[in-house]
Amino acid sequence: MKAMILAAGRGERMGALTANRPKPLLEIDGVSLVERHVQRLAACGVDEIVVNLSYLGAQIRNRLGDGTRLRFTIRYSDEGEPPLETAGGIVRALPLLGASPFLLVNADVFTDFDFGTLLADPRSALVLVPNPAHNARGDFGSDESGLVRAAPPLSTYGGIAVLEPKLFAGLPDGRRPLKPVLDAAIARRELRAVHYTGLWVDVGTPERLDDARRLAAARS
């Protein structure tokens, strides 16, 4: 299974921290957010990763290279400015991802979720986590059969998924959010839910970056 890391966001809420570097290169315990994902994806058997780029994307390309030193392949989908949002970025990258299901990871989540648990089952899935304070209402629920549903109780989408390219069939190139694509798949009962209660932080603000750094320090 290939993987795609979403790394095109501007990170405006990070303020001065992202004035001269992209958010995926912010570091926790000496390792950037995006490099941590690359290392963990490679360790669980992923041998090709697609990274989408926009804001200061050349810095990410220069940091990661082509993957040769880690004995796998990194390819890039350069969106230019402005970024294409999540679904738009995926549509642009589909020629690189191919026809098989792919693992999707937001660059700005800090987690110890085992990506290998998703590689064992290629069906489309969303990883759902307990609702953090900044998303107390949640996003999606799940039913008795383990499928994602829109009805409560709701959990938070953790920015980790397995998605099938057919979910994006017929969508034209351009800016496009992911939620309408997920809502349509939920209505067709095509998304399974994977619940995770371990380490997970959405590094969307300087305060949450500090939280992630404290958690990393406590675990080291």
* Top-level class of domain 2-219: alpha beta
Domain positions in the chain: 2-219
pLDDT band, very low/low/confident/very high, at 115 (cuts 50, 70, 90) = very high
Tokens of 94: 């589909």
pLDDT in tens, 141-166: 999 999 999 999 999 999 999 999 99
Distance CA 149, CA 68 (A): 41
Tokens of 15: 């303020």
Q: Which residues make beta-bridge pairs with 111? A: 200
**pTM of the entire structure?**
0.96
